A and B are shown apart, each in its own frame.
Chain A
Amino acid sequence: MLSKERALKIKEIAEKYRNVPAPYGEDINLEEYKIEKGGISVDSLMELDEGYKSKLESIGIDIEEKTSAGSYLQINNKAVYSKTDSKIEMMPISEALKKYNLDDYLWNLVEIKDKYTARAALELTEGFFIRVPKGVKETIPLQTCLLIGEESSSQNVHNIIIVEEGAELNVITGCATSPHVKSGLHIGVSEFYVKKDAKLTYTMIHDWGENTHVRPRTGVYIEENGVFISNYVVMTEVKSIQSYPTAYCVGDNSKVTFQTVAYGKGNSKMDLGSRVVLSGKNSSADMISRTIVVDNAEIIARGHLVGESENVKGHLECRGLILSDNAHLHAVPELEAKRTNLDLTHEAAVGKIAENQLMYLMSRGLTEDEAVSLIIKGFLNVDVSGLPPKLAKSVEQIMEMTLDAS
């Protein structure tokens, strides 16, 4: 639940922003996307129909649940399945709101300031609530999955993850649109709390399809010695994504890593940023983004580091390959310092595949296509850090599969 005052306050703000466009990304007419109320529920992921099952597998979800500590599946706006055998607490956010007072967690890290956040605050919204109790280090990943299953509908999501003091968690989230759905909208609010000495690794794979708009809104709060690692992979077409997650390194010695791998093809439009505010002493941030655009795709890769405290360290690395004259690639790295004693750096490079790399491989007997494909695979091969080997392998496989298919 929320306290009455808080609930009222949220409603009041949201009403104000109901029709306010976001500063970035194409403006979407929300009227075109209805909010689906009903839906199925299952007792096991194996009960899902084949179409869903193969979709889930293609975004890294283990449907037999042999290698996961628990699973959450949401189709449209209904939690279809939520189960864990671990000491982790996991439930739909609607249930968590019945059980707990979430005044300190809901709408605390993400501000309501556009029509998308307003919709998530005002309309039917579901999501996962995950809490790892103090000191529990779960080594097996938890899997969550958000699917759009209904034509021209809006999926509204609000997720909360709390990793209590000294605890550890690894989450893989797969997001996709059901194959038969022609158009959809995903609004996803996520608020993650990494407490003192805790660690959260969050890996997200997007496979939305060419007619889906996606508007994630993410905030992460990291306390003393806390570590947050985000790996984000999008290899398939999408109508548009606009996201700019912000991590707040509030605790001393807290650490953040954002890794983004995006392959823009078809008419995809992606505006992908990440921002870290370093306000804890000795806190640090690493941002790595690797983007490729082909066909008519457009990617804006943003990065913003804000240094607000002593001895903070941040590095932003932004590399892009442009492989078509109709594509568009725009790197926007920003560094902002508010103290003298800090170290923020960035390197950005966009361009085509280097001729000498191509020639090198071709002189070893690779055709031009084979050489290009190998160079691209290498380029996208960021070290998916902090992942259990099996999960890293499956992320790698997803990337290879999509690259080989294209």
Chain B
Amino acid sequence: MLSIEDLCVKIGDKEILKDIHLYIDSGETHVLFGPNGAGKSTLINTILGNPKYEIVSGSIYFKGKDITDMPMYERAKLGIGISYQSPPAIPGVKLKNLLEIITNRDWSEIEKMAEILNFKDFLEREVNVGFSGGEAKRSEILQIYAQNPDFIMFDEPDSGVDVENVELIGTIINELLDKNKMPSDRKKSGLIITHMGHILNFMDVDRAHVLYNGIVACSGHPEEILNNIIKHGYERCVECYQKKEH
């Protein structure tokens, strides 16, 4: 589904990502850990095609196509989706209106999902205007559901979400990523970006990576890596990082 090779990315003069390799197969969901400033959001923005992020070298392939130089909206049309951590407000534009523009589903399905998310009242509200952290998350999930992309990035999907809603969001993300289907029937892929991984209690992920200082310092079994981070913080990752750096 997504394959990133030798990716180096700059913002202005500053090199943020170094030699990133990442391969996410069709039907797989990966999780990306990493401390603040590791380059997680740079990686997301680069995959999305945000022109502010300059690709110095390397390539991104999506569904077998080289999308390294493809404009943002074309990538979205091709099936890349994002649920933002803190999305901007779009004053004057009703959520319903935006959903109608971006949707690839029937309106009745969207209404049903809005109901499940307990978010029906928000359809007439302006996009993200005055939304709390948790409300913004539900708005993002609803938009992603409408858009129905094949590869979805979730940037800190549980931050700001109250305890009782984390489980709900986890369940819906599982559904969006075909986790309720048999492994061989799964078509959707995902990348979950998280700090602490609370959401992982309610989700199934296949593989984990740790991004440290612009390098993928470690990849492996999600539980194992998460337990390590919980026990030791990112200390162990620093060691691995130093090994890789040299």
Contact = CB atoms under 8 A, between A and B. Distances in A.
B93 A365 contact: no
Given A363-B49, A365-B73, 9 more contacts: A354-B88, A359-B72, A364-B98, A366-B102, A367-B73, A374-B90, A374-B98, A375-B93, A378-B91
Nearest to A319: B91
Contacts of A360: 84, 87-88, 90
A365 B102 contact: yes
A370 B77 CA distance: 14
B132 to A, nearest CB: 18
A364 B87 CA distance: 12
Interface in B51-82: 52, 71-73, 76-77, 82
B55 to A, nearest CB: 16
B36 to A, nearest CB: 19
Interface of A: 354-357, 359-368, 370, 374-375, 377-382
Contacts of A370: 73, 101
Given A359-B72, A374-B101, A378-B126, A364 B92 contact: no
Interface of B: 48-50, 52, 71-73, 76-77, 82, 84, 87-93, 98, 101-102, 126, 143, 147
Which of A361, A370, A375 has the most B CB atoms < 10 Å from its CB?
Answer: A361
A356 B45 CA distance: 12
Contact of A381 (B49, B89, B93): B93
20 contacts: A356-B88, A357-B90, A359-B48, A360-B88, A362-B71, A362-B73, A363-B82, A364-B101, A364-B143, A365-B147, A366-B73, A368-B73, A370-B73, A370-B101, A374-B98, A375-B90, A377-B92, A379-B91, A380-B92, A381-B92
B93 A378 contact: yes
Contacts of B101: 364, 366, 370, 374
Contacts of A375: 90, 93
A356 B86 CA distance: 11
Nearest to A361: B90
B92 A378 contact: yes
A363 B93 contact: no
Given A374-B101, A378-B126, A362 B72 contact: yes
A379 B92 contact: yes
Contact of A364 (B49, B88, B89, B147): B147
Given A360-B88, A363-B82, A377 B76 contact: no
Which of B72, B87, B101, B143 has the most A CB atoms < 10 Å from its CB?
Answer: B72
Contacts of A356: 88
A364 B90 contact: no
Nearest to A290: B92
Given A364-B98, A365-B102, A359 B50 contact: yes
A41 B102 CA distance: 51
A20 to B, nearest CB: 41
A116 B102 CA distance: 51
Contacts of B76: 362-365
Given A364-B102, A364-B143, A374 B93 contact: yes
B80 to A, nearest CB: 8
Contacts of B126: 378
A158 B143 CA distance: 52
Contacts of B71: 362
Contacts of A374: 90, 93, 98, 101
Which 7 pairs from chain A and chain B are nearest by CB?
A378-B92, A381-B92, A365-B76, A378-B93, A362-B72, A356-B88, A364-B102
A364 to B, nearest CB: 5
A406 to B, nearest CB: 17
B126 to A, nearest CB: 7
A382 to B, nearest CB: 8
A357 B126 CA distance: 13
Contacts of A368: 73
A354 B127 CA distance: 15
Nearest to A383: B92
A364 B92 CA distance: 18
A178 B101 CA distance: 36
A315 to B, nearest CB: 17
Contacts of A379: 91-92
Nearest to B88: A356
A363 B72 contact: yes
A361 B91 CA distance: 13
Contacts of A355: 52
A364 B50 CA distance: 12
Nearest to A369: B73
A374 B147 CA distance: 17
Contacts of B92: 377-382
Contacts of B49: 363
Contacts of B98: 361, 364, 374
Contacts of B73: 362-363, 365-368, 370
Nearest to B104: A365
Contacts of A362: 71-73, 76
Which of A355, A360, A364, A374 has the most B CB atoms < 10 Å from its CB?
Answer: A364
Contacts of A359: 48, 50, 72
Nearest to B44: A363
A381 to B, nearest CB: 4
Contacts of B52: 355
Nearest to A362: B72
B104 to A, nearest CB: 9
A366 B72 CA distance: 9
